[in-house]
Structure 1
Amino acid sequence: MQASHAAAAVSARFDDPNLVSCGGLEPVLRLADSCGLADLVGQRLSVPSPNAHLKVPALVAGMVAGADSIDDMDLLRHGGMDRLFDGVRAPSTLGTFLRCFTFGHVRQLDSLAASVLVGLAQRTPLLPAADQLAFLDIDDTIRATHGYAKQGAGYGYSKVKGLNALLATLSTPAAAPVIIASRLRKGSTNSARGAARLLSDALATARRCGAGPLLIVRADSAYYNQAVIAAAIRAGARFSVTARMDPAVRRAIATIEESAWTPIHYPNAVWDEDEQHLVSDAEVAEIPFTAFGSRGKAERIEARLIVRRVKRLNPKHVPAGQSELFATYRHHAVFTDSPMSMLDAEADHRAHAIIEQVNADLKSGALAHLPSGSFAANSAWLVLAAIAFNLTRAAGCLASPWHAHATGATIRRHLITVPARIARSARRIRLHLPMNWPWHQDWQQLFDALHPPPTAA
C-alpha cells in the first residue's frame, strides 16, 4: 500500500457534523441501558453531584471507546455524538464528579457494578454452563504511578511505586473471564489484605450470575491463609490455592512415597517462575493435609495437597539446610478440596493464570493511567473500568463466538471504534458504516441483538 498518486490534490477539513468515530458505542450503551445502568445509579449512588445518572454512563462509554484518562473523555464530544447520545458531558465536569467520591460512594458503585454484571449474565451468553462448573480467580496487580500527587502510592512487593488493584474474575471452561469484584488499595499493601472480604462479596455475586454448586476459588500463594480459604468454604465454594513452602508443607511432601509419583507431560510447556525456564515434563502426587495446624482445632482446614515436582537444572544451587529430596527437585504444592481427579485438579489450578490476561486488558485500556490525585476518585475509576470491561466482553459475546474470547483491544478495534455517518429520515436515525468492513457481519449481529425488528401491528 502507498499514498495515492493524486496526493497533491488531497486536502483535509474537520467540518462534518454527522460523522462519529465509534459507531459501535450505540449498541453497547443500549446493552448498558437494558441492564438498568442509569436507573441503578439513581437508586444507589448518593454522591453529591447532579445528574450522576448521566455522568456514570458517560465515563463508562468513554472507557469502552478507549479513553484512559479524564482528558480522553473529550472523544465523546465530536461530530454527531450529541445526535446519537444524550447527556454527553465535558471532561472537566466528569473529573469534578469523580473527585466528589468518598469510600462509601465507591462501595455503592461496587454494588451497582455487581448488579450490572448480573444483568449482563442474564441478557447475554456471557457465562455459558456456569451452573455446571465455574472458576473464581483472585489476584492483585500494581498500576505504576509517577510523581508525588497520588494519594496512597507506595512501593509494594514488585518494587514499583504505584497503587494496588485487587481483582476477582469469574469464568467457565467455555467462557472468557469477567470482573466480578475490584478494590483499589495502597501501593505498599500486603496482597491478601482485604481479600477475604472481597472474596465473600464476589462469591455472592457469582451465585447471582448463575454459578452452580461447583464453584472453585483459585489463587496463588499470596492468598494461602486461613481467612481467605474459610471465606470460600462459608460460601459453599471449593478452593484451589497454591501452598507456601513452609515447614509443615515440606514435612508433608517428604512423606510421599516414591511410587506415588505419576509422570505428566504438558502439551503446552509450563513456565517455571523460580528457575525462569519452560517445563514440559513433571511428576505429580497427592496426600491428605491439614493446613494452619498452629491455630485452634476449629480453624484448621483439612483437604489434600497436590504436589508437582520437576528436576532442578542446577542441583548445587539449593538453599542451605534442605534435604536431598529438595536438592534434586523443585516442588509446587496446591492445597485444594476440588472433587476432580488429581491430574484434572492440577491442570485446572494452572489455568488460574487466565486472570493475568484481564490485568493486561485493563492496563492496555482504561487502567493505563489512574487519572486523579484523589485515592477515592481513582477507586471509582477502577470500578468504572471493570463495568466497561464487562460491557465490552458482553458485546463480544453477542457479536460472535470468536469475539467472545477476544481481548478487549480487539473487540474495541473490530466492533466499537467503527466510523459511521449519521443520517436522519422520517424521525429515524440510520448509521452508514464503511463498505466491506471486515467484521461487518459480527457488528450487525451485535446491533440486531439490541435492536430487534418491530413487531407487526
Structure 2
Amino acid sequence: MHSSTPPRAVSAVFDDPNLVAHAGLVPVMRLAERCGLSDLVTQKVKLTGTTNGAGAAADSKISSIVAGMAAGADSIDDLRVLRHGAMPTLFGGIRAPSTLGTFLRAFTHGHALQLHAVHRRFLAALAARTPLLPGSGEKAFIDVDSTHKRVYGRTKQGAEYGRFKGIRTLHPLLATVCTPHARPVIAGVRMRRGKAADSRGASKFVSEALATAVESGCTGLRILRADSQFYNAGVIAACHRAGAHFSITTGMNPSIKRAVLGIPNDAWQQISYPTAVPDPETGELISDAEVAEIPEYTAFASRKKAERVTARLIVRRVRDLAKPAVVGEQGELFPVWRYHPFFTDQPAAALRAEREHRHHAVVEQVIADSKAGALAHLPSGHFHANAAWLTLWTMTYNLLRAAGSLASAFHTKATTATLRAHLVQVPARIARSARRITLHLPHNWPWEQAWTHLFDTVHDPPAPA
C-alpha cells in the first residue's frame, strides 16, 4: 500500500460540519434509550443539593459518559470526542468534559449505590430485549474476582501500596455472568481501597450478583465460581440462600492436604485437554492431568455446626516437572505432583465439573478488556468519582455486548475493541431532506451487513409487550 498522489497534491482541512467519526453511536445509544437508561437514571440517581448544580440533568450527563466510553474515551478529557462535526445534530444534551468531571466529583457513597441500582436494572432490560445471554434459562455461571488497577498521584483517594511493592493501586471487585453459549457480561462491581482484602464484603457482593443474574433471566442452574480468596463460609452461605451452587478453589490448607494425600492411587482419572492450558503456578503449558473426587468433605470443621458445609472436593493433579522424581528404596521413581483442589456442590460428574471450574478464567478476559479501555485510567482524585466511573464502564461494556449480539453471530463473541472498531468507529456524512437525516457511510465497509442489521433492529417499532 502506498500513497496514490504526490505529497504536494494533498491537503487537509478540518471544516466539514456534516461529518461524524463515530456513526455507530446512533444505533448503540438508540438501544440504550429503548432499554430505558435515561428513565432509570431519572428514577434512581438523586444528586439534589450538590454545588454548582452538578446534579441537574443527570440522565443527559450519564448518557454522555456512556457514549464517550463506547467511542473509546478512557479519561474525562477524552469525552470531548462527542463534540465534533455533526454530533450535536444527531444527539441532544451532549455535555462538555468539564461539566461531566464536576458531575462525577459530586458523587458520594450513596450516589454510587444509586448508580449500581441503575446498572442492575439496565442489564436486566438489555437481557430482555437482546440475545445477550442465550441459554440462561438452563445454566449460567457467575464468576467473582478482584483486580488491582495501578494509579498515579499521591492525592488520589483510596490509592495504597498493596500487593505489588512500590505500586499504588485501587482494588476493584467484579462479578460476571456467562452461559455455555455466551461471553460474560458484568453483573456487579465495587471500588475498594488498595489494601482491601480480596474477600472483604464478598458475601454481600455475591448475594447481589446472584440476584442480578436472576433478574437478567438466569433462572436455571446457577453456579458461582471463584478463586481461593473467596473460600469462606459467608460466600457459601450466600449461595445457599440464593438457591445457587458453588465451585470455589480451596488452596492447600492442612485439612485439605490430609484429605488429598489420603486419596488412593486407583481413584485418579486421566484427563486430556483439547488445547494446552497454562499451569496457574508455573505458567507452563500442560495438556494432561489426573482428577479424583472426595464425595463428602466437611469444610470449616472448626466452626460451629451450623456453619460447617459438607460437599464434594474435586482435585486435579499435574506432574511437577520442575522437581526431579524421588528414588525409592528399591529404585522406583515416584513422580512429584502439584494438587489443585476445589470445593463444589454442583451436580455434574467430576471430569465435567473440573472443566467447567477451569473456565472461571474467562473473568480475566473481562479484566483485560477493562484495562485496555475505559479503565486504562481511573481519572479522578476523588474515590467516589472513580467508583462512579467504574460502574459507568460496566454499563457501557454490557451495552456494547448487547449491540454485538444484535449485529451478527461473529460479534456476539467479539471483544470490546473489535465491537468498537467494527460497529462504533464508522465515519459518516449526514444529509438532511424533508426533516429526515440520512447517514452516508463508507462504500464497501467490511462489516456493512452486521452494522445495518443492528441499525434496523434498534430502529424498528418495539414488539408488543
TM-score bin (small chain)? over 0.9
Question: Are residue 64 (structure 1) and residue 64 (structure 2) matched?
Answer: no
Cα deviation 1:382-432 (Å, max 9, x = unaligned): 000000000010010000011010000000000001001111111111101
> 2 CA distance for matches of 1:314 and 1:438?
48
- Report how far residue 23 of structure 1 moved: 0.2
Q: Which residue of 2 aligns with 1:209?
A: 216
Gap change, CA 1:124 and 1:326, over 3 Å in 2? farther
Aligned partners of 1:36 and 1:317: how far apart in 2? 62
Give secondary structure in 2 for the equivalent of 1:101.
coil
C-alpha displacement of 1:317: 10
Deviations 1:294-317 (A, max 9, x none): 100100011000000111113369
Q: Does 1:81 align with 2:87?
A: yes
Q: 1:453 to 1:181 in 2, by over 3 A?
A: closer
8 A Cα contact 2:273 2:288, kept in partner = yes
Counterpart for residue 170 of structure 1: 177
Mapped partners of 1:446, 1:150: distance in 2: 40
Establish whether residue 184 from structure 1 lines up as the match of residue 191 from structure 2. Answer: yes
Match of 1:375 among 366, 373, 383: 383
Q: 2:370 aligns with which of 362, 370, 373?
A: 362
Give me the TM-score of the superposition, normalised by structure 1: 0.96
C-alpha distance in structure 1 between counterparts of 2:312 and 2:142, whole Å: 19
1:454 Cα deviation (Å)?
Answer: 11
Task: Trace 1:10-409 onto structure 2 (pairs within 5 A).
Answer: 10-48=10-48, 49-159=55-165, 160-287=167-294, 288-315=296-323, 328-409=336-417
Once residues 380 and 64 of structure 2 are traced to their aligned partners in structure 1, the CA distance between those partners, rounded to angstroms, is 17
Task: Point out the more displaced range, 176-185 or 220-229.
Answer: 220-229
CA displacement at 1:154 relative to structure 2 = 1.1
2:318 maps to amino acid: V
Partner of residue 322, structure 1: none
**Match for 1:414 among 412, 422, 444?**
422
Distance in 1 (CA, whole Å) between partners of 2:236 and 2:161 is 27
Q: Is the 8 A contact 2:143 2:226 kept in 1?
A: yes
Q: Shift in Å at residue 228 of structure 1?
A: 1.1
Aligned with 1:402: secondary structure? Answer: helix
What code does the residue aligned with 1:87 have?
Answer: G
Q: Structure 2: any 5+ residue segments left out of the alignment?
A: 49-54, 327-332
C-alpha distance in 1, partners of 2:394/2:84? 25
Which residue is equivalent to 2:436? 428
Asked if structure 2 preserves the Cα contact closer than 8 Å seen for 1:65 and 1:417, the reply is: yes
Deviation per CA, 1:51-79, whole angstroms, max 9, x where unpaired?
Answer: 11110110011001100000000001000
Q: Which is worse superposed, 333-342 or 265-274?
A: 265-274
Aligned with 2:186: secondary structure?
Answer: strand
Match in the other structure for 1:321: none
Question: Number of matched residues?
Answer: 450
Q: Deviations over 1:28-49 (max 9, x none)?
A: 1111111111111111101131
Contact 2:146–2:171 (CA under 8 A) maintained in structure 1: yes
Distance 2:80 2:216 in 1: 34
SS of the aligned residue for 1:265 comes to strand
TM normalised by structure 2 equals 0.94
Post-superposition offset of 1:273: 2.5
The residue type equivalent to 2:425 in the other structure is: T
Shift of residue 327, structure 1, vs aligned partner: 7.8
1:158 CA drift (Å): 3.8
Q: 1:244 to 1:418 in 2, by over 3 A?
A: same
Contact 1:213 1:237 in 2 (8 A): no
**Structure 1 portions without partners, runs of 5+:** 319-324
Report SS of the residue matched to 1:201: helix
SS of equivalent to 2:3? coil
Indicate the RMSD between aligned Cα atoms, in angstroms.
Answer: 1.8
Deviation of 1:113 after TM superposition, in Å, equals 0.4
Q: Tell me which of 437, 455, 461 is aligned to 1:447.
A: 455
Q: Give the counterpart letter for 2:99 in structure 1.
A: T
Moved over 4 A (4+): none
- Distance between the aligned counterparts of 2:265 and 2:431, measured in 1? 74
Instruction: Answer whether contact 1:213 1:236 (CA < 8 A) is retained.
Output: no
Question: CA, structure 1 residues 398+100, in 2 after alignment: closer, same or farther (shift >3 Å)?
Answer: same
SS of 1:171's partner is strand
Question: What residue identity is the alignment partner of 1:439?
Answer: W
